[in-house]
Chain A
């Protein structure tokens, strides 16, 4: 599906939180996970800017670990505030989707 990026913009941060929440992981793996889900347009640069934002907001704990080749990788894990934000994201998601579904089905 093309042109998903615009629609995804607000929700991608929540998706990344969810992925990090499942297990400690790094940018490349997060991008591949999103690609595998079918979000082909998402590139590592996109994920990286989201990760920086999450870091600045203090939602993640960042650990630098050496990698086999090249510079050390940054690994991300959720902290308590991150878990709160993730729960808030799913609450908002629930709110939006139920209402949009209702609209689609022609109800009020």
Chain B
């Protein structure tokens, strides 16, 4: 990855294009699940989403393999898509949006408490 790509995220755009092109080949119910998976995974992303790329790639890999087997998407992922995505992203990308929001909240609460003389 060269400096220009790092700054602009050009390489990410390219990678996303390649990934979406792969996803477009999936059966319809798989594509629907894919859209949801992206939504669930987004909250685990860092600022650029770079940390998500390997996760997204492996999730898509699973969908490709299982679709080729002719399994239904329900047989593959069950009912708990959010849980699946959390498990996928687990441990990866320690500093996510959510952590930052939580920190911010804690800081604000602490500041308000101090002001109250607590």
B residues adjacent to A (C-beta < 8 A): 58, 61-62, 64-69, 71, 74-78, 84, 87-88, 90-91
22 contacts across the A-B interface (CB closer than 8 A): A27-B62, A28-B65, A28-B71, A41-B78, A43-B75, A43-B76, A43-B77, A43-B78, A44-B77, A45-B76, A46-B84, A46-B87, A48-B62, A49-B87, A56-B91, A67-B65, A69-B69, A70-B64, A70-B65, A70-B67, A71-B68, A74-B61
A-B contacts counted at CB < 8 A amount to 53
Distance of A73 Cα from B69 Cα, bound (Å): 11
Whether A33 sits at the interface, judged by CB under 8 Å, is no
Distance of A71 Cα from B22 Cα, bound (Å): 11
**A44 & B64 in contact (Cβ 8 Å cutoff):** no
**B78 & A53 in contact (Cβ 8 Å cutoff):** no
Dominant secondary structure at the A interface: helix
Whether A52 sits at the interface, judged by CB under 8 Å, is yes
**A52 & B65 in contact (Cβ 8 Å cutoff):** no
Distance of A42 Cα from B67 Cα, bound (Å): 18
Distance of A48 Cα from B55 Cα, bound (Å): 12
CB-based nearest A residue for B68 = A70
Known: A27-B65, A70-B69. A49 touches B88 (CB 8 A): yes
Number of interface residues of A (CB under 8 A): 18
A residues adjacent to B (C-beta < 8 A): 27-28, 41, 43-46, 48-49, 52-53, 56, 67, 69-71, 73-74
> Given B62, B64, B68, B90, which contacts A45 in the complex, CB threshold below 8 Å?
B62
19 further A-B pairs in the complex, CB-CB below 8 A; given A44-B71, A71-B68: A28-B66, A41-B78, A43-B77, A43-B78, A45-B62, A45-B78, A46-B84, A49-B84, A49-B87, A52-B58, A52-B88, A53-B87, A53-B90, A53-B91, A56-B91, A71-B61, A71-B64, A71-B65, A74-B61
